[in-house]
Chain A
Amino acid sequence: MMERLLESASQLFLLLLLSPLVTGVIRTLKARLQTRRGPGIFQPYRDLFKLFSKGMVIPETASWIFSATPWIVFFSTILAGLMIPMVAADAPLRLFGGVLAVIYLLGLGRFFLALAGLDSGSSFGGLGSSREMTISALAEPAMMMAIFTVAIGAGSTGLTEIAGAAIGQNWRFLAPAQMFAFAALALVLIAETGRIPVDNPDTHLELTMIHEAMILEYSGPYLALLEWAASIKQLVLMTLLINCFWPFGLQPTWFGFGAAQGIAWLVAKLLLISCAIVLIESVNAKKRLFRVPELLAVAFTLGSLALISTFLF
């Protein structure tokens, strides 16, 4: 019991502290690729600090949903984050749920975020909510296909079991089924974290924004909570992807010298996937909204191929 609490606390700190850094690294790397200097990898921390110390304006037209949403989004993302293996294969709150619970908890946050987008009555919020719910709905079948493939391999939807099954055979991700599933999940990850070519996280142009449109009315600490939650969600999904497929360096427990090694591995893997995201973001243009379903259909096809290859190969 005590150990679980310690593990949860350590993973919580890791989630809270590492997530802005990942966002910062991606932004900086992207800036470098565009031959800009960029604001530095610690800028997200400064942004959060600034927002937390400011006042906030809540629209007169908004109800309690508007104020409750940042908390619900923040806590459900954290809870999802505590269910995934980050440093140790044994996730701190694995009893609370596996991969399905993680997806549905993120869904809970999205549900309330979409409500909050419509709550103020501003048309931009509604626009964002509508697009977000559409895209996430279309991403769902692809994600489930890929998860089915992974879960069938491990015989479980528990993430500890999935990571554990991968640990024994480090090069298994080269198997066709795993590679297809990885590609499908990577596409879903791009859609879910609102990255190019699905959404552009840096824009506030009403024609193109999705996630930013939903949180347009937020300011001050609540905006900070939502931005932070978005970073954590990105970290959670990235960790989910890398630790299910590349279990290198996952430690048996959180304790002892191994933890430092595990964190180092995690950071290295995160850096790798961040570079991949930056490359994708830099060489692609944002797709038109009605082109996104095609991308997700590709993801679904990849997921189906993954599933079929589990018994072909």
Chain B
Amino acid sequence: MAVLFISGIVVWLAGAVASLALWRLPVIARRVACSAALAGSLLDLAASAASLFSASPTFIGIPSGNPVFTWAIRLDPLSAYFNVTLAVLAAAVSLYSFGYLKEMEGRRNLGAFGFFFNLLLMSLALVFTASNAFFFLVAWEVMALTAFCLISFEHEKEKTRSSGLLFLIMSHAGTGLLLIAFLTLTKTTGNLDFASFHLLASRMTPLEQGAVFLLFLFGFGVKAGVVPLHIWLPEAHPVSPSNVSALMSGIVIKSGIYGMARVFFDFYGTPALWMGAVVLGLGVISALVGVLYALMDHDLKRLLAWHSIENIGIILIGFGAALMFRALGQANLAALALIAALYHTFNHAMFKGLLFLGAGSAVQATGTRNMELMGGLIRRMPITALCFLAGAVAISGLPPLNGFVSEWLTYQALLAGFGTTQSLTRLMFPIAGSMLALTAALAAACFVKAFAIPFLALPRSPEAAEAREVSLVMRFAMIALAVVCVALGLGATGFIPAFDPITQQALGVRASSALVVAHGWAMSPGTSHGGTISTTGMALFFLLAGAAFALPLVLRWRRRIARGPAWDCGLPALTADNEYTATAFSKPLRMIFSALYRPRREIQAEYEVSPYYPSSIRFASEIEHTFEKRLYNPLRDRIMAVANRMRGIQAGSINTYLAYIFITLILLLLFGVRL
């Protein structure tokens, strides 16, 4: 396993260097970069899948460390799980990139892209396995920097540059918090090894415990896109190339989730109850804010980015519940909630990766991200449409696909939580449950829009009418991810035992035997006489009913079907201009939630004779982005004001600067001597 893992890392590294060296030969650079990424992912998949089920964690020590900073890699079940997620998604995205990057050949530096792409994959694998705080932060920074370079890849656009910069600033602010948190831990142990941090945090004073918890929560929360630290996410994901968006949304933001899982379930023993409550609350808010803004966004990729925030929220609801159960001494329920969160993590990586690849294909085919200018793509791009539909059904949490399974597990955990305590805290569980229900239903509404507006009805622009299906290898990558989504849904009971090593490590219980019932046909929450679901059974029912009734009847009715113009209440000549738009579709919700959106619209009609016969109408509609306006803009203004004041000491004369250096040196010496 160690050999497999290291060779995966080496292949990625070699791919990075080779594609950079070959940057003058774009065709070869593209092939080398994508093959290396694919090969590295497959090696990583083999290594991590094997160590997920192995009895003891795999340790790899890279020589030339020193006693404090060791380059230690540990593949324990939690690390292996996130590595499997990374490897499956990365393999599909690498495959997709073979075709996707072809369009850029000769126009962009594919050597540099391959370099950063492979380095990003490598650094992610290291983030998930590093077992030393210093090494972890190095890998974390490499990940942030390569992600920044990939986001800013199309840097000639002003918007891309500013989005990339926002990501960089937010990311570093988060790293700063992590640094303080790790140093606080180190203060107790004098050691940076993760092994020495095990259950350490719970031995600190309650005040320190809480402070370190919040530092980690917000430090990792920035990367995960937790509200209110999410503002970089809907900016950065749409501007990057679509294969990068798939990776960013699928797995890079999951590095924050991994960090939280590592800290909450490895470094902490039994947490305080409020910690779980904070995480649960943040999860509910993130889920709702994410989906509500997604509904209003008509940039296909930004819509998906908002949904990443929503799904991170759902994952955090599971985490929060698990922490609360742990605080209440309910290890079995904690295992259920943790499994729900981790299962949703994997599921989200798969269906969001799939959706971004599908969106990338649609964007490449039409040349726009605005869904109001797409339409009718299901006829021009049938495979892309089918795959996007599978992703849309999965992310909306509809049976029998995988999103339903993990949301069901989350509901069960919340439901069981009500009986665990007599205090009023228990009201949090049903409230979180009903907000989750609202989120899921709004997500379904949003994906009706996100699928129907670009893919159904008539083309809304000449580009959409001329769209061409993407290349074979890209279609294949999307089909692969769609198949994974279906398999994770139908075969859910088969995947549950994979969580046993993780819950064993984190909570000391194995849950799969209670969760999988009826010989693997159904899943139960593991509580006494809790309900069951069987996604396999549902799928079988649909298949049987389809084969036994639908097929023969369709064949019989075939001769009776006539194709004709749409009825449309008798209005003649249906054109794309009469179609319902995405703006119109989301209008009722914009009105109902106007307290949040504060929508503004402007209608200017020009007319000659009477206002009932306008010659032209200009319509503009926008919503307010509350977090930017009320939180970040004042903060930015404050920082700029302080910076402006500090400009006074920047005189620009060498002598003054030398004096500053001298004074600093003296002060430091004095400080050092006194200690």
Docked CA distance A109–B418 (Å) = 31
Quick one: closest B residue to A296, CB to CB? B592
Q: Tell me the residues in window 557-589 of chain B with beta carbons closer than 8 Å to chain A beta carbons.
A: 557, 560-569, 574, 576, 578-580, 584-589
Would you call B522 and A95 a contact (CB within 8 A)? Answer: yes
Contact of A126 among B427, B528, B545, B580 (CB under 8 A): B580
- B537 to A56, Cβ gap below 8 A? no
User: Which B residues are in CB contact (< 8 Å) with A152?
Assistant: 415, 418-419, 430
The answer to whether B437 and A123 touch across the interface, beta carbons within 8 angstroms, is no
B-contact 0/1 string along A126-167, CB 8 Å cutoff: 110111011011111111110011011001111101000000
CB neighbors of B among A91-106 (8 A): 93-101, 104-105
Decide yes or no: A158 and B562 within 8 Å by CB, A104-B398, A129-B452 being known contacts.
Answer: no
Assess whether A98 is in contact with B531, with CB atoms less than 8 Å apart.
Answer: yes
**Chain A residue, CB-CB nearest to B536:** A96
Residues of A close to B542: CB separation below 8 A: 72, 75-76, 79
Taking the complex as formed, is B157 at the interface, i.e. its CB lies under 8 A from any CB of chain A? no
Cβ contact within 8 Å between B530 and A124: no
CA distance A50 to B39 in the complex (A): 60
Complex contact B589–A134 (CB within 8 A): yes
Candidate in B379, B444, B456 with the most chain A CB atoms within 10 angstroms: B456
Please tell me if the beta carbons of B527 and A148 are within 8 angstroms of each other in the complex: no
Q: Indicate whether A221 reaches chain B with its CB closer than 8 angstroms.
A: yes
Interface status of A115 (Cβ within 8 A of chain B): yes
CA distance A111 to B398 in the complex (A): 9
Q: Classify the secondary structure of A's interface with B.
A: helix
**Docked-complex contact B418 and A121, CB < 8 angstroms:** no
Q: Counting CB contacts under 8 A, is A55 at the interface?
A: yes
- Nearest B-chain residue to A164, judged by Cβ: B529
Q: Which of B109-117, B256-264, B404-412, B653-661 contacts A (4 or more CB under 8 A)?
A: B404-412
Contact at B531–A99, with CB atoms within 8 Å?
Answer: yes
- Asked whether A96 lies within 8 Å of B592 as measured between CB atoms, the reply is no
> B393 interface residue, CB < 8 Å from A?
yes
Within 8 A of A (CB), among B312-369: none
A72 to B389, CA, bound (A): 14
A235 contacts chain B at the CB level, 8 A cutoff: no
Residues of A within 8 A of B440 (CB): 140
Nearest chain B CB to A192 CB, angstrom units: 11
Pick out which of these stretches binds chain B: A25-33, A58-66, A239-247, A274-282.
A58-66
Chain B interface secondary structure, helix, strand, loop or mixed?
A: helix
CB of B482 within 8 Å of the partner chain: no
Complex CA–CA separation, A123 to B408 (angstroms): 35
Least CB distance from A98 to B in Å reads 3
Q: A98-B532, A158-B531 are in contact. Are A121 and B579 (CB under 8 A)?
A: yes
A71, B564: Cβ atoms under 8 Å? no
A126 to B427, CA, bound (A): 38
In the complex, whether B195 has a CB less than 8 A from a CB of chain A is no
Contact of B574 among A64, A121, A151 (CB under 8 A): A121
Asked whether, in the complex, the Cβ of A108 is within 8 Å of the Cβ of B528, the reply is no
Q: In the complex, A214 Cα to B435 Cα: how many Å?
A: 27
Question: Contact between B533 and A101 (Cβ–Cβ < 8 Å)?
Answer: yes
- Contact residues in A for B578 (Cβ distance below 8 Å): 121-123
Q: Which of B399, B435, B528 contacts A104 (CB 8 A)?
A: B399
Contacting pair B541 A130 (CB below 8 A) = no
Q: Please measure, in the bound complex, the distance between the C-alpha atom of A134 and the C-alpha atom of B585, giving whole angstroms.
A: 9
Instruction: Say whether B174 faces chain A, with CB atoms less than 8 Å apart.
Output: no
In the assembly, what is the distance between CA of A115 and CA of B553, in Å? 23
For residue A120, CB closer than 8 A to chain B, the reply is yes
| A79 adjacent to B568 (CB under 8 Å) | no
Q: How far is the CA of A136 from the CA of B589 in the complex (A)?
A: 12
Q: A100-B531, A158-B530, A217-B566 are in contact. Are A65 and B378 (CB under 8 A)?
A: yes
Complex contact B441–A58 (CB within 8 A): no
The one of A93, A126, A144, A308 in contact with B584, judged by C-beta atoms closer than 8 angstroms, is A126
Set of chain A residues within 8 Å of B561, measured between Cβ atoms: 55-58
Interface residues of B in 498-542 (CB under 8 A from A): 518, 521-522, 527-534, 537-538, 541-542
User: Which residues of A sit under 8 angstroms from B453, Cβ to Cβ?
Assistant: 118
Interface string of A230-243 (1 = CB under 8 A from B): 00000000000000
Contact partners of A149 in chain B: CB under 8 A: 430
Question: Is there a chain A Cβ closer than 8 Å to B433's Cβ?
Answer: yes
Contact residues in A for B412 (Cβ distance below 8 Å): 157
Is B383 interfacial (CB-CB < 8 Å)?
no
Interface size on B, residues (CB 8 A): 79
**A-side interface residues, number (CB < 8 Å):** 83
Among B379, B419, B566, the residue within 8 A (CB) of A59 is B566
Please tell me if the beta carbons of B452 and A119 are within 8 angstroms of each other in the complex: yes
Q: How far is the CA of A158 from the CA of B398 in the complex (A)?
A: 18
Check if B538 sits within 8 Å of A121, measured CB to CB.
Answer: no
B442 at the interface (CB under 8 A from A): yes
- The reply to whether the CB of B633 lies closer than 8 angstroms to some CB of chain A is no
B441 and A140: CB pair below 8 A?
A: yes
Say yes or no: is A307 at the interface (Cβ < 8 Å to chain B). Answer: yes
Q: Are A104 and B560 in contact (CB under 8 A)?
A: no
A129 and B457 CA atoms in complex are apart in Å by: 14
B399 touches A108 (CB 8 A): yes
Query: How many Å lie between the Cα of A75 and that of B453 in the bound state?
Result: 26
Is the C-beta of A107 less than 8 angstroms from some C-beta in chain B? yes
User: B452 to A114, Cβ gap below 8 A?
Assistant: yes
Q: Which residues on A sit within 8 Å (CB–CB) of B397? A: 104
Q: Is B197 an interface residue (CB 8 A)?
A: no
| A78–B564 CA distance with the chains assembled, in angstroms | 31
Query: How far, in angstroms, from A89 to B568 measured CA to CA in the complex?
Result: 45
Q: Contact partner of B441 among A63, A78, A97, A136, CB < 8 A?
A: A136
Please tell me if the beta carbons of B442 and A137 are within 8 angstroms of each other in the complex.
yes
Residue of B nearest to A93 (CB): B537
Q: A220 at interface (Cβ–Cβ under 8 A)?
A: yes
Using Cβ atoms and an 8 Å threshold, which residues of chain B touch A76? Answer: 542
Using known A-B contacts A78-B545, A115-B452, determine if residue A58 contacts B444 with beta carbons closer than 8 Å. Answer: no
Residues of A within 8 A of B378 (CB): 63-65
Provide the residues of chain A in CB contact with B592, threshold 8 Å.
134, 138, 290, 293
Q: Is the CB–CB distance between A127 and B448 below 8 Å?
A: no
A96 and B562 contact, Cβ closer than 8 Å, known pairs A107-B441, A140-B438, A217-B567:
no
**A249 interfacial by beta-carbon distance below 8 Å:** no
A95 contacts B415, CB within 8 Å?
no
* B565 with A59: CB separation less than 8 A: yes
Which residues on A sit within 8 Å (CB–CB) of B166? none
Which residues in chain B, 150-200, are within 8 Å of chain A measured between CB atoms? none
- Are the C-beta atoms of A129 and B585 separated by less than 8 Å? yes
Q: Inside 8 A of A63's CB, which chain B residues have their CB?
A: 378-379, 456
A216 CB-CB contact with B under 8 Å = yes
Is B206 interfacial (CB 8 A cutoff)? no
Q: State whether A145 touches B430 (Cβ < 8 A).
A: yes
Other-chain residue from A130, A161, A206 in contact with B586 (beta carbon distance below 8 A): A130
Cα distance A133–B398 in the bound complex, in angstroms: 14
Most chain A CB within 10 A, of B412, B434, B576, is at B434
A65's nearest neighbour on chain B, judged by CB, is: B456
B393 pairs with A71, CB closer than 8 A:
no
CB distance from B434 to the nearest CB of A (A): 4
A295 to B586, CA, bound (A): 20
B415/A143 in contact, CB under 8 A: no
Residues from chain A with a CB closer than 8 A to the CB of B665 are none
Do B435 and A100 have beta carbons less than 8 Å apart? no
Tell me the chain A residues, 286-310 only, with Cβ under 8 Å from chain B. 289-290, 293, 300, 303, 307-308
* Assembly CA distance A123 to B456 (angstroms): 13
**Could you list 16 A-B pairs, sorted by A, with CB under 8 Å?**
A57-B564, A57-B567, A59-B566, A61-B458, A98-B532, A120-B568, A122-B568, A122-B574, A127-B584, A137-B438, A139-B441, A149-B430, A156-B529, A157-B411, A161-B529, A303-B434
Interface residues of B (CB under 8 A from A): 378-379, 393, 396-399, 404, 408, 411-412, 415, 418-419, 427, 430, 433-438, 440-442, 444-445, 447-448, 451-453, 456-458, 518, 521-522, 527-534, 537-538, 541-542, 545-546, 550, 553-554, 557, 560-569, 574, 576, 578-580, 584-589, 591-592
9 new A-B contacts, CB < 8 A, other than A57-B564, A141-B434, are: A55-B562, A75-B550, A100-B408, A137-B589, A145-B430, A152-B430, A156-B530, A158-B531, A216-B567
